Structure 1
């Protein structure tokens, strides 16, 4: 029985490979566009990664399988040629599959830099496919030769499109000019915001490439928009700009806007249609019915995906709407296009974020294993993994950090309160008056804590973030549930605290360029505090240990023993300052790479700051942290690191 199954598998192996290649392309088309753009789910991203790599591997292996089998076509009986002569007609379909889908060309920003490798693969795979088709009996059959030629034309164009899209996606090699001068209408409606984002996209692309605003042609319009628009309108503008950047870097959107590729795409679609018509009218009596059915499935899949791609990448593209709007005789088509662009299902709606709109959450209590987070794994499996992690940790007790980050990191949706408080800080420091009262905040509740941290030698950025995170956790444990406003404010403080802890500990090198110290050293200091006073597993005991450690002054003791709204607002404002400061110190290239993972709150903040000319990307380093008008912020003087020019 097993032998017969293996024989059947071997006989129909090429059919399985071709169908698997087709199904992978369908999966990538469905998940590589808006779903990937707006999701930060690690499981989805991992599945797309496997499909992205597997699609090329399966197609290349299938071509190799065809070339291997044809060598024995005249010497052995029962060969692929005898049983499935139509299989060699599928070689150009595999080329079309290697061309990928319009919704995903690169999985990560590094894939764009490998476009020369894809160009070499294009030449090799085209030669291999032509060799397979030439050695097969299909080229002697005019009824298969002619449609096969048309399919090869479509496949070569499709593969060339992908290679060119990867080249266009190189962020550091972008040399485009400012194009049409951006002009923001006074009504500042969503349509005018989208149009302004399209016109200013070359300048935004230069910002992501690491250029300074004064080096970019037309940057004055971007700066003007940052001061003309209110907080909500600026957030919408940044949202659209992030969507444009994602499509230009990780899809074929950039090349589909060029005239040459548009002509080639039309040739490709006409060629595939002609091939289908010729195949339908050919004599298929000598071919296996299953092979004929698979061929029709491949034809249908190619044409269906092309139609859907045109709908999603062209008809529902804001670039198409802007082009139609500029044409005097196409205003009615522009109105139809805008209806599609602003639709909630497949478009770029005003209220829906064009990125994940989520923020990572990681806490010290989770790291210690005393705060369980909701997980897709069963509880018994989680406990087993934690025990194994501690058994292999330092001293046989500590939890392995990378295991903790893998299991305990989660994502939270960014609510309106968080975006508003961040936008207010950026707006208050984006004005021209640097001596305003908004930039001279004092810290009557947190001041003593900041001074104590400096006296204890916490002089690096990561160490301070860890200490402030622990302090926030201790203080949040005293917030009651009577006042709903206080609970909501405490929730904002905890989310911001967990997010900054997540950046510093989980992504110290890729996201937090302001980090001057090693976060693991700060974590080790935290563990020593727990070891001296309690055990690892009891959350209340851990918080009590840190509360005792913080009770080094009467001001801190009074703050910890009584909660008030002003203290919570100070904690929130301090975390906002740290996040904005970190965004101002971050590298633009990191933000471009992060768009492939759904985007990051830090990117959203950084781009808003760029419109205000704040941060290292602007004309001056942001002065939110090390301002000398706040005497209780001496602890943060050490965080003024050199500019990343």
Structure 2
């Protein structure tokens, strides 16, 4: 035991420094995977690494400062590992973070002043550690240490400034000064050129829109170009690039690396690190242990390799290509475009934004269609909650964890959303008196739902979701085309309920989710009976009695109307949503609702342009019925 303790004491500082560096490498590569990865394990690992990286670096600085007061006895850190104090500036570099991730959540950007205070405190601590160790180094590491301090302070300050730039509160001041990189002219002949060129020009205004600012002048100038922009795939790719660039501005150092002064400081940081490395190589290292020297080389060389990879990421940025094109550096621009277009094609195949949509079914909440593990877990939790007197909201929390899932967004859903938005704009701009969309099959159901006087948008979603799920169960063996329609209807229905359960802040709801679901469950219980499928039979009876479910005919026309019904609900919710909620959701991969919201913004559809859309009644507010989604002029 004593041998293990002695071994740990001897290697503790090495392990701490190497662990700090390892976390930085993980954050660099995992940060770039974060937007397109929905794996829970990866997200949790990234969260622990993001929090642990700062903790390990600060703890190591504190460990070194504690060793400074240990002046007695041999075998201490000052005697055996004198080079360890040279690693203090490297910890400042680690605290500066990586280019691919600076903020884990949107709230981190709003707390940039706290990070500025941390910067001051940690620089003072590292300076104290290094200054106290100068006498032991006989000044031979003073010069390289000073150069590393310059590099570390610049990197740490760069991260703090990136958080400040990422705060939506600072959007107005940043965009008012304009962007130093002028994007190239729009190009209609080459789709990728046109996509990237338009995305670069629209990026500052898209950021304004996420911050809730007025962008009507920009959209008025470019709406015709957007309307005739290439093919459907090109328009979808444009929105994905725009959202991807917005993610980079909010959660990485992308915006910092587009500023001239920041690039100058970045070059100064790298030159300082390189000078420190050269001075360390030529210094006399005979008095230091081989392990200490090896760790120092790992920190130097590993840091240079990470910076080289970061440079490759910058080269593949659309802003780099735009900067080179605007300065007539055509050869370099062509090289940059080769890498950029290759990256765009990869992202296009991966369906980057959004790459998945959540799914949640009301039947899971009432106890149907659950896995054995989910049923047993919920039973155990209900028993525990009853014993301790916990509220029913615990049931919803556990149900969200166990029953929510994600599925890949297929091309059909994306096309449905894009085409429906286009059709809506044509419908709004049509002054020839063309009739509005009719609902011949769903008209009785919508009238019954209107008569229920549901006072919350969440209740409308729950009732229509239950109706959709029960109706889709009548299609036992549909042909190919109808089978695809059934899948789209179920995915859209489950997605809207998923948003209500997991992200109600993105929807125009007024009541709590727990109250909404419990109200529906209480109604089902009134119509239910005993038996295994009592809740399903109760749901069917409830919908037949209240909404005339039994008169809906199962055919292709009905499925198309159900699909359009959910698309209209999706676009209504998108038009009522706020930009800051979409910005916050980009941290976990983005939502289909964000894609629809940005597409509507490009076409001037939604609440920011009340004169151009009437998805609801004349007031445009949440009324006592569903007329705000399906007004009478849309029915037969």
TM-score (norm 2): 0.91
Task: Choose from 148, 155, 160 the match for 2:157.
Answer: 160
Aligned partner of 2:369 in structure 1 is: 371
Aligned partner of 2:51 in structure 1 is: 53
Q: CA deviation at 1:448?
A: 1.5
The answer to whether structure 1 residue 612 and structure 2 residue 603 are counterparts is yes
Aligned partner of 1:428 in structure 2 is: 423
Secondary structure at the aligned position of 1:411 is classed as: strand
Task: Choose from 59, 63, 68 the match for 2:61.
Answer: 63
Q: Separation in 2 of the partners of 1:132 and 1:536?
A: 73
- Once the two structures are superposed, the pairs formed by residues 452-531 of structure 1 within 5 Å of their partners are 452-508=448-504, 510-512=505-507, 514-531=508-525
Q: CA deviation at 1:185?
A: 2.8
Aligned partner of 1:192 in structure 2 is: 194
Q: CA deviation at 1:234?
A: 2.2
Distance 1:585 1:640, change over 3 A: farther
Is contact 2:316-2:339 (8 Å) kept?
yes
- Once the two structures are superposed, the pairs formed by residues 41-190 of structure 1 within 5 Å of their partners are 41-73=39-71, 75-137=72-134, 140-174=137-171, 175=173, 176-177=175-176, 184-187=186-189, 189-190=191-192
Aligned partner of 2:321 in structure 1 is: 321
Q: Separation in 1 of the partners of 2:385 and 2:482?
A: 39
Secondary structure at the aligned position of 1:32 is classed as: helix
Aligned partner of 1:23 in structure 2 is: 22
Aligned partner of 1:449 in structure 2 is: 445
Is contact 1:88-1:138 (8 Å) kept?
no
Q: Deviations over 1:246-267 (max 9, x none)?
A: 1111111111111111111111
Aligned partner of 1:239 in structure 2 is: 240
Is contact 2:525-2:535 (8 Å) kept?
no
Q: Separation in 2 of the partners of 1:529 and 1:30?
A: 50
Is contact 2:82-2:137 (8 Å) kept?
no
Aligned partner of 1:389 in structure 2 is: 381
Q: Separation in 2 of the partners of 1:93 and 1:396?
A: 49
Q: CA deviation at 1:307?
A: 0.7
Distance 1:31 1:365, change over 3 A: same
The answer to whether structure 1 residue 402 and structure 2 residue 397 are counterparts is yes
- Which shifted more, 581-590 or 524-533? 524-533
- Once the two structures are superposed, the pairs formed by residues 194-209 of structure 1 within 5 Å of their partners are 194-209=196-211
Distance 1:37 1:52, change over 3 A: same
- Which shifted more, 487-496 or 227-236? 227-236
Q: CA deviation at 1:582?
A: 0.1
Secondary structure at the aligned position of 1:173 is classed as: helix
Q: Separation in 2 of the partners of 1:51 and 1:536?
A: 50
Q: Separation in 1 of the partners of 2:249 and 2:527?
A: 54
Secondary structure at the aligned position of 2:19 is classed as: helix
Aligned partner of 2:36 in structure 1 is: 38
Aligned partner of 1:556 in structure 2 is: 549
Q: Separation in 1 of the partners of 2:226 and 2:604?
A: 9
Distance 1:440 1:393, change over 3 A: farther
The answer to whether structure 1 residue 254 and structure 2 residue 255 are counterparts is yes
Q: CA deviation at 1:536?
A: 9.4
Q: CA deviation at 1:268?
A: 1.1
Is contact 2:88-2:129 (8 Å) kept?
yes
The answer to whether structure 1 residue 636 and structure 2 residue 626 are counterparts is yes
Q: CA deviation at 1:489?
A: 0.4
Q: CA deviation at 1:459?
A: 3.1
Secondary structure at the aligned position of 1:613 is classed as: coil
Is contact 1:99-1:161 (8 Å) kept?
yes
Q: Deviations over 1:122-177 (max 9, x none)?
A: 11111111110010146743331121111111111111111111111111211214
Aligned partner of 1:589 in structure 2 is: 580
- Which shifted more, 437-446 or 95-104? 437-446
Is contact 1:368-1:537 (8 Å) kept?
no
The answer to whether structure 1 residue 544 and structure 2 residue 542 are counterparts is no
Q: Separation in 1 of the partners of 2:531 and 2:257?
A: 56
Is contact 1:105-1:250 (8 Å) kept?
yes
Secondary structure at the aligned position of 1:412 is classed as: strand
Distance 1:634 1:157, change over 3 A: closer
Q: CA deviation at 1:291?
A: 1.3
Q: Separation in 1 of the partners of 2:292 and 2:510?
A: 63
Secondary structure at the aligned position of 1:371 is classed as: coil
Q: Separation in 2 of the partners of 1:347 and 1:564?
A: 38
Q: Separation in 2 of the partners of 1:164 and 1:442?
A: 53
Q: CA deviation at 1:619?
A: 4.8
Q: Separation in 1 of the partners of 2:242 and 2:234?
A: 12
Secondary structure at the aligned position of 2:332 is classed as: helix
Distance 1:443 1:210, change over 3 A: same
Is contact 1:133-1:139 (8 Å) kept?
no
Q: Deviations over 1:448-485 (max 9, x none)?
A: 22222233342321111100000011001111224111
Q: Separation in 1 of the partners of 2:38 and 2:266?
A: 32
Distance 1:290 1:181, change over 3 A: closer
Q: Separation in 2 of the partners of 1:113 and 1:159?
A: 17
Q: Deviations over 1:319-377 (max 9, x none)?
A: 1111222233x212211111101124x9875444343421111111122232136xxxx
Distance 1:587 1:546, change over 3 A: same
- Which shifted more, 3-12 or 566-575? 3-12
| Unaligned 5+ runs, structure 1 | 374-378
Secondary structure at the aligned position of 2:614 is classed as: coil
Secondary structure at the aligned position of 1:30 is classed as: helix
Is contact 1:18-1:59 (8 Å) kept?
yes
CA RMSD of aligned residues (A): 2.7
Aligned partner of 1:376 in structure 2 is: none
Q: Separation in 2 of the partners of 1:68 and 1:115?
A: 28
Q: Deviations over 1:193-217 (max 9, x none)?
A: 1011112211111111101223x5x
The aligned length equals: 618
Aligned partner of 2:220 in structure 1 is: 220
The answer to whether structure 1 residue 567 and structure 2 residue 566 are counterparts is no
Aligned partner of 2:634 in structure 1 is: none
